[in-house]
Amino acid sequence: MRGRIEALDALRGIAALVVVIHHSVLALPGTTEDASVGVTMRWVYATPLRLLLDGTGAVVLFFVLSGLVLAESAARLSYAEFVVRRVCRIWLPFAAAILAAALLAHLAPAGLIPGFSDWFNTAWLRPPQPLAVAKLLAMGGALSLDSPAWTLVHEMRISLVLPLLALLALRSARGAIALSVCASAAALYAINTIHMSGLASSLLATVAFTPMFVLGIGLAKRLEQAMTKLGLLGSWPRAALWLLALGGLAIVPTGTTDLAVWPIPLLLAVCGLAAALLMMLSISGKGAAKVLDTKLPRFLGRISYSLYLIHVVMIEAVGRMLHGVLPPVASILVAVALSVILADLCQRWVETPATDLGRRLGRRFRAHPLHAERNGGAPVLPAASEP
């Protein structure tokens, strides 16, 4: 089982790479998935190649995967220890990335940069003010300084209630999923009818995304059974399920995160189920597990969080600083290369120390050894690296 959990880490690394490709393409004009794109991009979006640009699908996979790999620790640890560890694991690298982005935004040329898209230009149009940076560090305010960070806001909030969600889901997965879906539907109704903005809208969006985490927790409870059933399938049924999973993962329009537009919520639900199926297929078959156990996927899995945090920062900084020196495409390639190098360093010097700090601080809140027994006995899954 340990190798299979590491395969999920590798799968998360591949998803992080997809997000990098998505934002790299998005930085160029005429590449968003709308009626204005050229023939070439329309062809890409209409073929399986869209999976390489499916940033939204990758984010959904992150959410479901978080629920799966955190189910064990959420059920085993005391609430205080779990939250302390999650704050150190998520927020400390997040804060380091935001501060680095703020510094680079002040050093890089501001304003509109010719040759880049509106998405690129509106992010660092002017240097951020101290109050805006403070709001970002508090996981509030506009996250244009480092756009992928919006998902971490939801992940941090849901982490605060994840032990309760795990307790419910591990006792009755169907009941917990049904409850979370009802809450999500109510939040989506409010988003669509009341038209809230700011913090209220963001909190409702967090509720709307919660079923994906609960789905992951429910999957953790039944993972062994699901893997056994999938392992008995022949090659053709497995191939059909792979097509179904990949097709479902790509069903959400690239670049769409507006929950107030129907039928995006329904498509996100389909995408979540496809992500769960993809994870089960990845760890239940020898072929997929063998591919995920190679050096590159394992390396991407190790640096996935840091790569996710810093790649847009590097695209913005390098694109602006090298404007007039390199063409936009070349500067983006340089930014991606630097992102991989810096992600490796950040994983070693920021992520790992932050995770270790969380474990040390968490021990101060460690419950009595019988805590695990009160939460259902043996852990659902062996320990795995947290997302």
Q: Using one digit for the tens of pLDDT, what is the confidence trace for 231-249?
A: 778 888 999 999 999 988 8
- pLDDT bin (cut points 50, 70, 90) of residue 105 is very high
Q: How distant, in Å, are the alpha carbons of 14, 100, 107, 310, 318 from that of 337?
A: 16, 18, 20, 12, 11
43-47, 147-151, 167-171, 209-213: which has the minimum mean pLDDT?
43-47
Kindly tell me the sign of the dihedral angle through the C-alpha atoms of 340, 67, 159, 253: positive
Q: Name the band, by pLDDT with cuts 50, 70 and 90, for residue 162.
A: very high
pLDDT class for 228, splitting at 50, 70, 90? confident
CA 326, 332, 335, 341 dihedral sign is negative
Does residue 335 surpass a pLDDT of 90? yes
pLDDT at 253 over 70: no
The reported pLDDT for the residue numbered 36 is 57
Read off the pLDDT of residues 316-329 as tens digits, 9 standing for 90 and up. 999 999 999 999 99
Residue of higher predicted confidence among 242 and 251: 242
Lowest-confidence pick of 93-102, 116-125, 287-296: 287-296
The model's pLDDT over 139-151, given as tens digits with 9 standing for 90+, comes to 876 678 899 999 9
Residue 124 binned pLDDT confidence (cut-offs 50, 70, 90): very high
pLDDT tens digits, residue range 269-300?
Answer: 889 999 999 999 988 877 888 889 899 999 99
pLDDT attached to residue 376: 45
Q: What is the mean pLDDT of residues 74-94?
A: 94
% of the chain at pLDDT higher than 90: 51
Handedness of CA 205, 308, 117, 113 (dihedral sign): positive
Q: How far apart are CA 6 and CA 378, in angstroms?
A: 20
pLDDT in tens, 174-218: 889 899 989 988 888 887 787 766 778 888 889 999 999 999 999
pLDDT exceeding 70 applies to what percent of the chain? Answer: 87
**How large is the average pLDDT for residues 14-32?**
91
Q: Tell me the C-alpha to C-alpha distance, in Å, between residue 385 and each of 10, 12, 272, 308.
A: 11, 11, 21, 16
Does residue 8 carry a pLDDT above 80? yes
